[in-house]
Amino acid sequence: MIDENWLIKTNVGDVKPYEEALKFYDRAEDVSGHTSAAGPNTKQIDYFGTDKYIELLTNFITKNIDDPRIDHSAITIPWGTHTWTVEGQEHSYHILHRHGKPEVRCNENLATVLYLNVPKQGGEFYFILEKNTGIEPHIIKPEVGDLFLFPWSVYHGVYPQGPGLRKTVNMDYNYTGSGYLLSEW
């Protein structure tokens, strides 16, 4: 028997503080074309250095998400393993993927996706939950401010989008048994 995967959807409200926090990173690297973000109009930027975004997101999660699946003791340190943005325009999409080692069926590491912009058409977030009773596919039409939290082992992606900007900020927490976060990147 396996543990079950899950996804929590909430909304942070005003996204401007999260957008502003990205300006404080020391370095940004364009990694477009080397990730699961795809399509002719897609850009992915990895961020390094000062973690104002992670501190802001960590504070939101610890104050607003009361769920036993979230290990609050492990996310109280205001830094994570990896932060990046994905920007898509018409025909952009995200291929089905997951984070971490593919042989791990379920894990406790936490992936986050925050929507800063959404296109009017297309661009739905899809994911597959592995349960003890089988697999369950799901589709969500995101709104600005939507925040998804889920284990790294959840397969997910984005359907091709119509005109307009889709922009997300993504961040992974790497839990250890001691409740600390480790940077692997």
Span 106-117, pLDDT tens digits: 777 889 999 999
Span 34-71, pLDDT tens digits: 999 999 889 999 998 777 888 899 889 989 999 888 87
Q: Which residues contact 67 (CB under 8 A, 6 or more apart)?
A: 8
Amino acid, single-letter form, for residue 124: E
Predicted model pTM: 0.90
pLDDT band at 182 (very low <50, low <70, confident <90, very high): very low
Homologous superfamily of the 8-173 domain (CATH): q2cbj1_9rhob like domain (2.60.120.620)
Residue 168 buriedness (CB in 10 A; 0-12 / 13-18 / 19+): buried
Domain locations in the chain? 8-173
